[in-house]
Structure 1
Amino acid sequence: MGNNYKLLTDNYFENILVVFKSLLIGLAAGGVVVLYRITLTYAEQFAFGMYGFLKENLEFIPLVLLLLCMAACFLGFLVSKDGMISGSGIPQLEGMLRGYFGKRKSWLHTLCSKFLGGTIAIGGGLSLGREGPSIQLGACVAEGLGKKIGKGRLEKKILMASGASAGLAAAFNAPMAGVIFALEEIFKYFSPVILLSMMSAAVAADFVSKQVFGLAPIFNFEITQGMPLNSYWILVILGILLGGMGAFYNYVLLKTKMLYGKMKSLNTTIKIMIPFVMAGILGIIFPVVLGGGHRIIEELTLENGIGFLVIVFIIKFIFSMVSFGSGAPGGIFFPLIILGAAIGAIFAKIAIEYLGFDQELFNNFIIFAMAGYFTAIVRAPITGIVLIMEMTGSFTHILPLTVVAVTAYIVADLLKSPPVYEALLADLICKENSEEKEESHKKIVVELIVRHGSEFENLQVKDINWPGKSLLVGVKQGDRVIIPKGDTEIKVGDYLTVLTDINSECRIKEILNEMNEPL
């Protein structure tokens, strides 16, 4: 506990040391994720090559179906042995940082199984992304190194979040998006040491990635002009559409997961076999929707009609739901961005053909829709804006991107659509053993920053109803650390350090976070 407390106070040497450790984490995580990207590239090429051959040689259909079923069986075996590799890995990481999933396989087992499982899924053509697994792989690397170089649980968690930041940075050549996503979605708050640690890891991983893949952005959209200011009204309409579509995406995804869960008669292998068989069918009749979605980007042109783009969106949407809902290792991050791009292309076609907008704005609408759809689903607007700017290499759209993202966020929130990763984490927690655990002799600290309008604001310590099995041991106001007394007054922006036992960590965090919500 002492090491954790030092990290939150004035031990500047320890803080600087954590930043350098994060730099090392970034280099290691970047190397692993770069290898994962290369492997997935070959896996996707294999999938398209296999289905291209099959389309010309239909007599091999039974052989390919047998191969797909064998791949599904092996993947089902991996998932049944290590449930932490199922899905994207982001909810699992968030849960681990909050104190859940204490009984799990080692970091090395998860890393190897996720790496292999994600490769098999993409090799089969499933509609899954690399970003979630890359984030989890980065965190696994950080967890492994953290056991050697980390001091205390809090420092190890910072290193894991830094590894996650590095994973996203290396996956998309997007270092700032990696930092912001880790802060906005995973860690939920930041202090200078957390911010600098994540930035160091992300920049180091991005450096490794660019050494291999070059400086070019992920997407290469040709932008010849910006959105006229007198046309911003249509961005609000686009944002409203994306907010509604994002809420629908979350609803269908959670219902699909629930439907798979109700199939008690089907084991993990059979469930994973469903998208593999579907991939085999689509590989013959409509291969453009296979994999993460890079091939779809090539089809988003003015030459293709609205009907074709709608069909692409619908089939990709359904295939993505079936793929992710099965529990196969792989993310939703990239596929949902591709779906957003498809919505943007459809919207652009309508705006150009029926509302008189300039054809040169076609790619602009695609970029705006990517950010808006991501924001509506994940509910991380800053990440969405920065990610799309880094992925497209265009930094001239911050104002229209913000208009679309904020509008989409508000609409999705009004529709009471839960952020997708929060909902998926809640589902995982429900599956975990919820029985009350005995108090452990091992103590840890929980930190939070007092927010405006919370139950803590302007109250004395003695007047706050602290949860059982917890003790306030430190209050940091600016650069000043206070040993709390009964008459110590809590202010907005204070860092509170609460002591609890390791088995009560999850419950204490939940209660304190509820108390810290604005009234």
Structure 2
Amino acid sequence: MDDDTDLLLAAFVVLGCMTLPVMLRLAQGRRPRRRSEKLAEATDLVSLGGGRRLALTRDAFGERLVLLGGATDLVIEPRIDDAPPALVEEAPPAPPSELAGLFPLGLLSILSGVLVGLLCGGFRLALQWADAMRSAIPIWMQDRPALGCAIMIFGAAAATWLAAFLVRRIVPSAVGSGIPHVESVLHRQEPPASPILLPVKFIGGVLAIGAGLALGREGPSVQMGATLAHQIARLFRRQWRDAEALLASGAGAGLAAAFNAPLAGSAFVLEELLRRFDMRHATVALGSSVGAIAVMRLIVGPTPELRVAPHFDVAALDIAASLLIGVAAGLVSLAYNRAILGALDLADDLPWKIERKAALVGAAIGALAFFAPGVVGGGETLTQRTLDGDFALAALPIIFALRFLLGVVSYAAGTPGGLFAPLLTLGAELGFFIGLVLHGADAQEKGMAYAIVGMAAYFAAVVRAPLTGMILITEMTNSSELLLPMLAACFAAMATAAACRNEPIYDALKERAARLARRAQEEAEDAAAPTRGRDD
């Protein structure tokens, strides 16, 4: 057995040595032909008799008049045009092929996916530990509730204060989910983040989400994945064309690792980040997702994120109900997006530093986490309980309103954290509520099916990426039986959101960040104007 293993390893080494020159040759592409390698062409020929001809030739150095025939050729005029050789225009190079250098780039995408999977796997394990610690404190302190509540309040306040401090002092672009920043980098509106973002986003995300803020782990995973993949591109000295593909694929790998959903990560790259499809980016995105999921499943296992009933019967009336769910999701998304933007504006108007605002939010959520630990945090447990049918009809509006408010306030705190997981929780509660209203409180199975449809519809209405939402929910639940109802619900949600002129949340956040940057630049220029006047 050992001999076979050694033989196989040696075969891999030999194969790698043989293919390495080919990979490097593919990465470099064809060498352009130099000007000196271009042959001269005879453009005009005039016969003079006696076998002699007068020829006008042209090459890269200009035009020449040459007398051909006889014993020797005679150059009559070496330079007819006066343009210097450096000014002679060459034909523009042909655009690079879409598949040029794809093989070595694909190998780099798998490598980046593996590293992103390791990073996001560690991030997820750290969050699980933080959630376990937060949930254990109320149990440990049930005999001394005053002390336990004080520990939760001060602990959450200190954690969110430190998370906001790291963002403000070290990497301001690490605030929030980070997805708008990744999109701005891909559109060349902002420079890529520095490597220092990785520890800031990791530690800040664990502190903020672990403290109980209603934020998702996918936002930090996406931005960390994009930053790590871009550093790999820099390490291998790739040009921007390849660096862009790796950066986008790293972001998709982060989403895939966050939800154990490889196809959703690839769809997210093409539908939301790049908003175009081409073979090059699709291949690289798939490679990164494969590498990330291979590592994540070694860490957390192959089981899907959410457990659902093994079978759902879809009737014709369910399609009509799904359209109703989509309309409701579109209307609620309008309130949600405006609430997010309004809360951010309100937080900016407060005359406090970002750390104090974050600490205040953390203290309030810490107190809530002591008395109701199940309603705080990213929302994964709450989503699972909704799919299990644990909530009564009368309790759903209260839980929905509370989670709606927690999500808005948490995002305005200025700490790292995403929006996807809280969105899915709200969508599940909305769909479950409509299912119970339509089919009665005893129809738990219909309510659970509508909860899954509601997740896809609310995601499509808020983010405006329906394919990503449907693929994500299908992979998270390991069930494709509700694709048709999800398709109807996403259609209605998109149409309703568009009719209400509800801008996609990440577009709105990106425009808001650009507006604030312009305002800060104008204020700096106005402040510097009097100083320049005195100097003059």
TM-score relative to the length of structure 1? 0.79
Q: 2:301 aligns with which of 192, 214, 224?
A: 214
Q: Is the 8 A contact 1:223 1:360 kept in 2?
A: no
Alpha-carbon separation, structure 1, partners of 2:391 and 2:285? 42
Structure 1 residues 427, 273: CA separation in 2 closer, same or farther (over 3 Å shift)?
A: same
User: Given that residues 216 and 420 in structure 2 are in contact (C-alpha distance below 8 angstroms), is that contact kept between their aligned partners in structure 1?
Assistant: yes
Q: Is the Cα contact below 8 Å between 2:327 and 2:492 reproduced in 1?
A: yes
2:275 maps to amino acid: K
Given that residues 52 and 284 in structure 1 are in contact (C-alpha distance below 8 angstroms), is that contact kept between their aligned partners in structure 2? no
Would you say 1:66 and 2:151 are equivalent positions?
Answer: no
Q: Establish whether residue 308 from structure 1 lines up as the match of residue 308 from structure 2.
A: no
Which residue pairs with 1:19 in the alignment? 106
Name the residue aligned to 2:468: 383
Q: 2:455·2:473 contact (CA, 8 Å) conserved in 1?
A: yes
Paired residue for 1:268, among 354, 364, 374? 354
Q: Is the 8 A contact 2:152 2:370 kept in 1?
A: no
Aligned partner of 1:245: which letter? V
| CA 1:11–1:240: 2 relative to 1, 3 Å | closer
- Deviation of 1:225 (Å): 2.5
In structure 2, relative to structure 1, the CA distance for the partners of 1:361 and 1:223 (3 Å cut) is farther
2:381 pairs with one of 269, 279, 295: 295
- Higher alpha-carbon Rg: 2
Q: Which residue type is aligned with residue 379 of structure 1?
A: R
Residue identity opposite 2:104 in structure 1 = L
Specify the alignment match of 1:394 in structure 2: 479
Q: Which residue of 1 aligns with 2:89?
A: none
1:77 to 146, 165, 168: 165
Alignment of 1:408 onto 2:496: no
SS in 2 for 1:372: helix
Conserved? CA contact 1:47–1:122, under 8 Å: no
Aligned to 1:117: 204
2:111 aligned with 1:38 = no
Q: Distance in 1 between matches of 2:266 and 2:93?
A: 24
Instruction: After superposition, give the CA deviation of every residue in 1:157-176 in whole Å (9 maximum; x if it has no partner).
Output: 11100101111111111011
Q: Separation in 1 of the partners of 2:443 and 2:142?
A: 39
Identity of aligned residues (%): 30
Deviation at 1:98, TM superposition (A): 1.5
Could you tell me which amino acid in structure 2 is paired with residue 158 of structure 1?
A: A
Match of 2:311 in 1: 224
Cα offsets for 1:43-75 (capped at 9, x unmatched): 111111124434542231334433333223322
**Inter-partner Cα distance in structure 2 for 1:298 and 1:188:** 31
The reply on whether 1:278 has 2:367 as its aligned counterpart is: no
Q: Structure 1: which amino acid aligns with 2:364?
A: M
* CA drift at 1:203: 1.4
Match of 1:95 in 2: 184
Deviation of residue 6 (structure 1)? 8.9
The CA deviation at 1:154 is 2.0
CA–CA separation in structure 2 for the residues paired with 1:155 and 1:7 = 17
Distance 2:434 2:419 in 1: 22
Aligned mates of 1:7, 1:199 — CA distance in 2: 28
- For the Cα contact (< 8 Å) 1:125–1:290, is it kept in 2? yes
For residue 11 of structure 1, report the CA deviation from its aligned partner.
7.0
Correspondences of 1:227-242 after superposition (within 5 Å) = 227-242=314-329
- Report how many aligned residue pairs link the two structures: 429
Deviation digits for residues 359-381 of structure 1, max 9, x if unmatched? 43221101000000000000001
When residues 277 and 161 of structure 1 are mapped into structure 2, their CA distance, relative to the original with a 3 A threshold, is same
Closer/same/farther in 2, CA of residues 231 and 330 from structure 1, 3 Å limit: closer
Cα distance between partner residues in 1 of 2:94 and 2:365: 49
Query: What amino acid sits opposite 2:452 in the alignment?
Result: I
Write out per-residue CA displacement over residues 17-51 of structure 1, whole angstroms, 9 at most, x where no aligned residue. 22221111111111111111111111111111124
Q: Which amino acid aligns with 1:17?
A: P
Q: Is the CA contact (8 Å cut-off) linking 1:302 and 1:349 kept in structure 2?
A: no
RMSD: 2.2
> Aligned AA for 1:280?
G
Where does 1:91-170 land on structure 2 (aligned, <5 Å)?
91-102=180-191, 106=194, 108-170=195-257
**Is 2:331 aligned against 1:244?**
yes
Query: Are the aligned partners of 1:341 and 1:369 in contact in 2 as well (CA < 8 Å)?
Result: yes
Structure 2 unmatched ranges of 5 or more: 1-27, 30-91, 523-536
The residue identity in structure 2 corresponding to 1:85 is A
- CA distance in 2 between counterparts of 1:51 and 1:7 reads 66
Q: CA deviation at 1:346?
A: 1.0
Q: CA deviation at 1:307?
A: 1.8
Q: Output the CA distance in 2 between the equivalents of 1:290 and 1:167.
A: 23
CA distance in 2, matches of 1:261, 1:55: 38
1:336-357 per-residue CA deviation (whole Å, 9 max, x = no partner) reads 1011111111111112218xx9
Structure 2 partner of 1:352: 439
Unaligned runs of 5+ in 1: 437-519
SS in structure 1 at match of 2:114: helix
Alpha-carbon spacing, 1:275–1:16, altered in 2? closer, same or farther (3 Å): same
Please name the residue that 1:368 is paired with: 453
CA contact (8 A) 2:113 2:289 kept: yes
2:513 pairs with 1:428: yes
Which of 318, 338, 350 aligns to 2:405? It is 318
Structure 1 Cα separation of the partners of residues 375 and 197 of structure 2: 28
Rounded Cα–Cα distance in structure 2 between residues aligned with 1:63 and 1:197: 47
Classify the secondary structure of the residue corresponding to 2:313: coil
Q: Could you tell me how far 1:305 is from its partner in structure 2?
A: 1.8
CA distance in 2, matches of 1:142, 1:329: 19
Q: Secondary structure at the match of 1:23?
A: helix
